[in-house]
């Protein structure tokens, strides 16, 4: 089942690329149908899992490279479940967003989006680390082409920077992966890349530091954490709308997901040693990102920097090592995907009409676009974290977690809430309200049914998750607690397989 989730988009991508779709109209229709079918299938599979306990569901294993100790191994738990769902949800939205925007090489465009979706599923579901790495790296290529071919004017600079930055981090992780496989060989007698095998290894504290650092660098660049974030605004600004939605919506989550799963799950001692430095760079990133939003004059760059700020907060919760913080981080991954996805969608709607992202042109859009004005407000409120929207829940949980761990961290982080409100209100006011901006604003037309549908779904989710977050929190909790249990020194580890093997094999 999980394999079908991973590989069906890849098959769809091939079908789109080489199938009989002549013009861009039939290509986009095919893409929409396929993406909806994919989402429906994924939802059906996810529904079937039992998430009342930690541990991986629906596991599938195949001997793939026995000589290297690497296999094909997938599994789903409470943490990956919702991220998989997010990935399924955002593809149809991204397809709808490029409905009219993409006329050059539409088949290739949609095919790449499906290929990207497939790779992202692969990352979330892999339990074999070599396989994980392959999906991780392979996810770069579709995005590279999406930005490079369909992007804005400085797309080449942005896309090459994006690939090289991400690659620089992940290649060191590859060495760490091989190192871990060797460690498995010294302790169990055979090479292994399997995550479940690795969880039961006793990793000497000194080596943990290096391994943690190599993993952390790879993931921190992806998230991106300050000071590794500079590729993100460039990539976002140059990306086509669909690229931005997928980049912010799911690609960044690869980093936070992997931090949670692997850095915290495999190297608990190193995680504790690195806790304070990581919290500090998260705080700097969250505040710095928010301040950067305030000074931007480019609509899309504002949203991009707000991502930097939000992701800083997310990792802050992650590294608080408290239940509230971890749950908040996980929820932030989902909610950020929804609300920032919606924001990029809105930026795209405006850009299609005005062909500019320069904020000085905007003003009073609500007069011309009342429906968009109505839908914009909840999105902005969610990004601010106003109660009643989903953004409030995750922000509150992250702050609470940080405060529990270190009161000073919570105090500084609270600053981002104020700054967040400041920049979102400024943005809303500048774009939506006030007098009409000028000729470009005069010519605005309200959003179409297609646009209403895609934005409406996201807005509905913003309220649904804001009012009833428990629906998600309750079935992520066992898995999150399992992660925490490994982090708590001395506590028994109920979720990890064969915990008893821990101490004795220490070389």
Helix (H) or strand (E) holding 61: strand 57-65
Which region, judged by CB under 8 A, interacts with another protein, from 155-163, 341-349, 458-466, 495-503?
Answer: 155-163
The residue written with tokens 């981002």 in the block is: 416
Binding test (CB under 8 A) with another protein, winner from 36, 41, 144, 502: 144
Total of chain residues touching another protein, rule CB under 8 A = 31
User: Binding of another protein at residue 172 (CB under 8 A)?
Assistant: yes
List all residues 6 or more positions away from 226 whose beta carbon is below 8 Å from its beta carbon.
281, 282, 284, 285, 288, 289, 308, 312
Q: Is 171 in the site for another protein (CB under 8 A)?
A: yes
Q: Site map for another protein, 173-192, x if CB under 8 A?
A: -xx--xx--x----------
Segment interacting with another protein (CB under 8 A) among 161-169, 296-304, 444-452, 457-465: 161-169
DSSP string over 17-49: HHSS--SHHHHHHHHHHHHHHHHHHHHHHHHH-
Rounded Cα gap, residues 199 and 21, in angstroms: 47
Are 114 and 6 contacting, i.e. CB atoms less than 8 angstroms apart?
A: no
CA pair distance 288, 391, nearest whole angstrom: 20
* Stretch near another protein under the rule CB under 8 A, chosen from 49-57, 160-168, 394-402, 413-421: 160-168
The tokens for 415 are 């600053």
* Nearest to another protein of 136, 305 (CB atom): 136
Smallest distance, another protein to C-beta of residue 176, A? 10
Is residue 273 a contact point for another protein (CB under 8 A)? no
Cα separation of the two ends of the chain:
40
Q: How far is the CB of 258 from another protein (least distance, A)?
A: 16
> How many Å is the Cα radius of gyration of the chain?
22
Exactly one of 24, 155, 229, 400 binds another protein (CB under 8 A); that residue is 155
As measured in angstroms, the least distance from the Cβ of 144 to another protein is 8
What's the CA angle centered on 116, arms 110 and 122, to 5 degrees? 145
- CB closer to another protein out of 164 and 498: 164
Q: Which of 138, 284, 371, 377 binds another protein (CB under 8 A)?
A: 138
Helix (H, G, I), strand (E, B) or coil at 297: coil
Binding mask 92-111 for another protein (x = CB under 8 A): -------------x--x---
Q: Length of the chain, please?
A: 507
- The reply on whether position 156 binds another protein by CB under 8 A is yes
Q: Which two tokens stand for residue 483?
A: 């992660």
Return the range that interacts with another protein (CB under 8 A); candidates 64-72, 312-320, 418-426, 480-488.
Answer: 64-72
The least distance separating another protein from the CB of residue 196, rounded to whole angstroms, comes to 21
* 140 contacts another protein (rule: CB under 8 A): yes
- Determine the Cα–Cα distance for residues 390 and 392; give it in Å rounded to an integer: 5
Residue 134 touches another protein, criterion: CB under 8 A: yes
Q: How far is the CB of 168 from another protein (least distance, A)?
A: 5
- For another protein, give the closer residue by CB, 26 or 481: 26
DSSP letters of 116-158?
Answer: HHHHHHHHHHB-BHHHHHHHHHHTHHHHHHHHHHH--TTHHHH
Measure Cα distances from 341 to 336, 344, 502 in Å. Answer: 7, 5, 42
Taken in order 321, 322, 328, 331, the sign of the CA dihedral is positive
159 binds another protein (CB under 8 A): yes
Q: Residues interacting with another protein, by CB under 8 A?
A: 65, 67-68, 105, 108, 130, 133-134, 137-138, 140-141, 144-145, 148-149, 155-156, 159-160, 163-164, 167-168, 171-172, 174-175, 178-179, 182
């Amino acid at each position: 089942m999980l394999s079908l989730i991973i590989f069906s988009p890849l098959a769809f991508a091939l079908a789109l690329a080489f199938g009989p779709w002549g013009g861009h109209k039939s290509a986009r229709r095919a893409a929409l149908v396929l993406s909806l079918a994919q989402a429906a299938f994924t939802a059906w599979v996810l529904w079937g899992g039992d998430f009342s306990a930690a541990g991986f569901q629906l596991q599938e294993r195949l001997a793939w490279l026995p000589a290297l100790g690497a296999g094909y191994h997938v599994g789903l738990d409470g943490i990956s479940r919702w991220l998989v769902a997010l990935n399924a949800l955002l593809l149809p939205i991204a397809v709808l967003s490029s409905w009219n925007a993409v006329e050059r090489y539409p088949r290739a465009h949609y095919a790449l989006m499906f290929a990207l979706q497939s790779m992202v599923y692969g990352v979330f579901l892999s339990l074999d680390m070599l396989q994980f790495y392959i999906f991780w790296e392979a996810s770069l290529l579709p995005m590279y082409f999406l930005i490079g071919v369909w992007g804005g004017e400085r797309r080449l600079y942005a896309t090459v920077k994006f690939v090289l930055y991400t690659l620089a981090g992940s290649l060191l992780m590859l060495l760490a992966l091989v190192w871990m496989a060797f460690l498995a060989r010294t302790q169990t007698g055979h090479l292994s890349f399997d995550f479940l095998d690795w969880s039961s290894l006793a990793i000497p504290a000194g080596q943990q530091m290096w391994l943690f650092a190599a993993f952390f660098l790879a993931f921190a660049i992806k998230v991106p954490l300050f000071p590794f974030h500079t590729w993100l605004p460039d990539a976002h600004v140059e990306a086509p709308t669909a690229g931005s939605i997928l980049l912010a919506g799911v690609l960044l989550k690869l980093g936070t997901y992997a931090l949670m799963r692997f850095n915290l799950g495999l190297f608990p001692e190193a995680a504790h040693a690195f806790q304070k430095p990581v919290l500090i760079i998260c705080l700097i990133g969250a505040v710095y990102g928010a301040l950067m939003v305030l000074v931007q004059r480019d609509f899309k760059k504002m949203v991009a920097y707000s991502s930097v700020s939000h992701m800083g907060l997310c990792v802050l919760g992650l590294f608080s090592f408290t239940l509230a913080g971890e749950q908040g981080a996980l929820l932030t991954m989902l909610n950020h995907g929804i609300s920032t996805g919606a924001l990029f969608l809105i930026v795209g709607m405006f850009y299609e009409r005005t062909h500019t992202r320069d904020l000085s042109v905007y003003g009073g859009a609500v007069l011309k676009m009342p429906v968009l004005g109505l839908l914009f407000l909840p999105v902005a409120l969610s990004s601010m974290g106003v109660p009643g929207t989903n953004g409030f829940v995750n922000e509150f949980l992250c702050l609470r977690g940080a405060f529990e761990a270190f009161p000073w961290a919570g105090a500084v982080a609270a600053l981002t809430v104020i700054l967040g409100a400041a920049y979102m209100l400024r943005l809303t006011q500048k774009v939506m309200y006030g007098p009409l901006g000028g000729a470009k604003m005069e010519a605005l037309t309200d959003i179409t049914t297609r646009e209403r549908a895609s934005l409406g779904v996201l807005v509905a989710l913003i309220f649904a998750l804001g009012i009833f977050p428990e629906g998600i929190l309750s079935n992520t909790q066992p898995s999150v607690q399992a992660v925490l249990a490994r982090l708590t020194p001395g506590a028994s580890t109920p979720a990890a397989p064969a915990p008893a093997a821990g101490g004795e094999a220490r070389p």
